[in-house]
């Protein structure tokens, strides 16, 4: 019935916006109406950003962080001031942004590309674990900070990594972010103070 009350172009936009995570029907309607009322240049800029994002963004072949398409590797890895013997293992690229905002971490990163979640069909084979093992050996890594989220999936992934590395006979110190992060809160939504305390209070596994 609602689709008959609004122009098709507007309902199509509402439908597409409603597919975004965390965006319900009412929020999608508000976003769509905002774009309709705003200067057309606002929608043009958004459209341009959406149409170029896939072509202009790629994964770093070493850390799996997101980088510009014309970069070879992540600047956080190639920077000579970063400590390559220290790796923070995170689930997603945006987790790097959250940790960098603390201003306290000077090591490098490794993005797993998710967390082990059998219910979602995500197993260890879908994650960038073999590449992590290669990096540990190649860069002579001394410590891994397993910075997966404080969720059931994040904890399962951390435990799997710990056992996997130990079973492989690789000698490396492993620590986990301290419990400054509430259970159920992803790194990208945690505040800087909480993340700072979590980094400072990381514990050995």
Please write the tens of the pLDDT for every residue from 67-113.
Answer: 999 999 999 999 999 999 999 999 999 999 999 998 999 999 999 99
Cα–Cα distance for residue pair 174/141, rounded to 1 Å = 10
Structure tokens at 194: 């909480």
pTM above 0.85, yes or no: no
The residues, any chain, with a CB within 8 Å of residue 195's CB and separated by 6 or more, are 98, 99, 101, 102, 180, 181, 187
Structure tokens at 101: 């905002």
Which whole-number Å values give the CA distances from 112 to 2, 8, 90, 177, 199, in the listed order? 42, 40, 6, 16, 19
pLDDT of residue 197: 67
Same fold across 2-57 and 63-204? no
Q: Is the predicted pLDDT of residue 23 greater than 80, yes or no?
A: yes
Of 29-38, 42-51, 87-96, 175-184, the range with the lowest mean pLDDT is 175-184
What is the pLDDT of the chain when averaged over all its residues?
90
Pairing outcome for strands 203-204 and 57-59: unpaired
Cα–Cα distance for residue pair 31/68, rounded to 1 Å = 28
Return the axis-axis angle of helices 152-167 and 129-138, rounded to nearest 10°: 50
Q: In CATH, which of 3.40.50.460, 1.10.8.420, 1.20.1560.10, 3.55.40.20 is domain 2-57?
A: 1.10.8.420
Cα–Cα distance for residue pair 86/76, rounded to 1 Å = 12
Domain extents for the chain?
Answer: 2-57, 63-204
pLDDT of residue 79: 95
Q: Which residues pair with 109 in a beta bridge?
A: 88
Q: Is the predicted pLDDT of residue 1 greater than 60, yes or no?
A: no
The CATH code that applies to domain 63-204 is 3.40.1360.10
């Amino acid at each position: 019935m609602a689709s008959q009350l609004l122009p098709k172009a507007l309902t199509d936009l509402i439908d597409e916006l409603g597919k975004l995570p965390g965006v319900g029907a009412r929020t999608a309607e508000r976003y769509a109406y905002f774009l309709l009322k705003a200067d057309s240049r606002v929608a043009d800029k958004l459209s341009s950003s959406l149409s170029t994002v896939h072509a202009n963004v790629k994964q770093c072949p070493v850390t799996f962080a997101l980088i510009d398409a014309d970069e070879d590797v992540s600047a956080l890895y190639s920077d000579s001031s970063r400590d390559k013997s220290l790796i923070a293992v995170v689930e997603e690229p945006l987790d790097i942004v959250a940790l960098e905002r603390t201003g306290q971490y000077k090591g490098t990163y490794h993005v797993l590309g998710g967390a082990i979640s059998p219910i979602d069909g995500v197993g260890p084979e879908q994650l960038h674990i073999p590449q992590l093992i290669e990096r540990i050996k190649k860069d002579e890594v001394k410590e891994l900070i397993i910075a997966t989220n404080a969720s059931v999936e994040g904890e399962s992934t951390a435990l799997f990594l710990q056992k996997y590395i130990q079973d492989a006979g690789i000698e490396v110190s492993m620590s986990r972010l301290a419990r400054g992060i509430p259970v159920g809160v992803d790194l990208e939504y945690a505040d800087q103070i909480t993340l700072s305390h979590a980094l400072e209070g990381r514990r050995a596994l």
